[in-house]
Amino acid sequence: MTIPDNDINGLEFILRPVGVVKSKITEPTFLPFGDQDAEERMKKAKARHQRTQKMVSAVVIDPNLDGILTGIEDFSHILVLYWPHKIPEEERNLRQVHPMGCKDISLKGIFATRSPARPNPVLISVVRLVGRKENVLRVQGLEALDGSPVIDIKPFTGLYDAPENASFPQWLEKLHAEMAAD
């Protein structure tokens, strides 16, 4: 099935940030288009992942959006959608990558990965909501860089966000096991 030109060509829209991330992470661990050795990438990614899982960051919501956070503190976890602002626009033309830079995993389409280098680099993280004070959410486990624009916040709900019988490819299960290993 093809998409008629008039359905998507020329269609544009504007996203305005609703907030910003304040984090100790200031630089990307690795970028999918870098020259860094795959083993070194994995080592850095694993260390950052393990550090980040314990780290508490702030998501500062625009104070002009009065009332927008009402009730969010009733949830243990939230989804943070953000823009990876340090991915150069010219690098968003990637179509395939080796997941996590691992050359032993065959090339996968960008949409089959969580790579930040995508046509529209909208990233999402499920994080633990530690607390809220006015327009500031304290969250644990957010891998966003300091200064990342926040596009949206959604509550994590098991009904919609954790489908029954979800399956994952073997290469992803292997990567998850490597990331979790000590």
Structure confidence by residue, pLDDT tens digits, 36-62: 566 776 676 677 677 778 899 999 999
Does 53 reside within a domain? yes
CA distances from 70 to 81, 89, 94, 138 (A): 18, 35, 39, 15
- Least confident residue range of 20-29, 32-41, 53-62, 93-102: 32-41
Does 170 reside within a domain? no
Residue 169 has pLDDT above 60, yes or no: yes
Does 9 reside within a domain? no
Total structural domains in the chain? 1
Does 130 reside within a domain? yes
Tell me which residue range forms the domain holding 32.
Answer: 15-157
Alpha-helix residue ranges (DSSP H) falling in the chain? 5-8, 38-54, 158-161, 170-180
CATH number at 35 reads 2.40.30.70
Does 171 reside within a domain? no
Q: Which residue has the higher pLDDT, 85 or 181?
A: 85
Sequence-separated (6 or more) residues with CB below 8 Å from residue 155 = 72, 75, 77, 78, 79
Q: Which residue has the higher pLDDT, 140 or 6?
A: 140
Does 116 reside within a domain? yes
Residue 171 has pLDDT above 80, yes or no: yes
Residue 145 has pLDDT above 90, yes or no: yes
Does 92 reside within a domain? yes
Q: Which residue has the higher pLDDT, 89 or 6?
A: 89
Does 151 reside within a domain? yes
